[in-house]
Amino acid sequence: MDTASFIFYLLATLLVIASLLVVFLRNVVHCAMALVTALLLIAVMFVTLHAPMLCVLQVMVYAGAIMVLFLFVIMFLNPGALEQQRGLWWGFGTLLAMMLAGVLVPLVATSDLPADPVAATELFGSPEMLAKSLFSDYVLPFEIASVLLLVAIIGAVVLAKREN
């Protein structure tokens, strides 16, 4: 096994362990921290795929912003209250996981992926390439997405104001 695949399998193993911990740990804050670990491991995987920009964005957006918000919600709500309906959630979760597997497994099995990985070019994943696709090739979807986010923010503000 060469170094690259060794690192991949090492990361993949850790990633699977971290993801399983998210599901099986009893303490919800521990679960959230396991999820942070999983997200950081994915970020490291992006580095091994020569996409440092994606790695940094993954850390900044998911680990640095979204998960902090998750943690807040978990810490403020009483996590013990969720324990009651565990049986029901297990059934629901299993159903969802099986549906996802039913879609993913045939897709991966039937797709003809290239046997040899394509070497990344120097500019692959660089800020220049990202900016070019965001602001020239896909500028309309990008702007629409930003308007969508703006609507969400304004909606949240309106809802928060009405409480008072």
Partner 1 sequence: MIVDLAIITLKAVLVVAMVLNLAGVLGWIERKGSALIQDRIGANRASIFGFAGLGLVNTLIADPLKFLTKEDFIPPKGDRFLHTLAPCMALFPALVTFAVIPFGDVLNFGERVINLQVASLNIGILYVFAMGSLGVYGIVIGAWASNNKFSMLGGVRGSAQMISYEVAMGLSVIGILMVYGTLELQDIARDQGTLIRDLMPSWLSFLTPIVGWLPAWGIFLQPVAFILFFTAAVAETKRIPFDLPEGESELVAGYHVEYSGGKFLMFFAGEFAEIVTAAGLVTTLFFGGWQVPYLMRDGFHFPWGGTLLLPHLLIVLMQVTAFTVKVVFFCWVQILLRWSVPRFRYDQVMRLGWKMLLPLALLNVAVTAIWIIAAQ
Binding residues for partner 1 (CB under 8 A): 27, 29-30, 33, 36, 52-53, 56-57, 59-60, 63-65, 68, 71-72, 75, 126-127
CB of 39 to partner 1, least distance (A): 11
- In whole angstroms, the minimum distance from the beta carbon of 23 to partner 1 comes to 18
- 3-state SS, residue 78: coil
Looking at the Cβ atoms of 101 and 132, the one nearer to partner 1 is: 132
Ranges of H-type helices in the chain: 3-24, 28-48, 52-57, 67-76, 86-110, 127-132, 139-163
The smaller minimum CB distance to partner 1, of residues 11 and 67, is found at 67
| C-alpha span between 14 and 36 (Å, rounded) | 13
Nearer Cβ to partner 1 (15/36) = 36
Q: What is 119-158 written as a DSSP string?
A: PPPTTTT-HHHHHHIIIIITHHHHHHHHHHHHHHHHHHHH
Residue among 77 and 105 whose Cβ is closer to partner 1: 77
Least Å from the CB of residue 15 to partner 1: 18
Shorter beta-carbon distance to partner 1: residue 38 or 59: 59
Min dist. Cβ of residue 67 to partner 1 (A): 8
Give the tokens for residue 71.
């943690």
Residue 125 gets the label, from left (phi > 0), alpha (psi -120 to 50) or beta, of: left
List of residues 6+ apart from 123 with CB closer than 8 A: 129
Q: To the nearest whole angstrom, how small is the minimum distance from the Cβ of residue 160 to partner 1?
A: 15
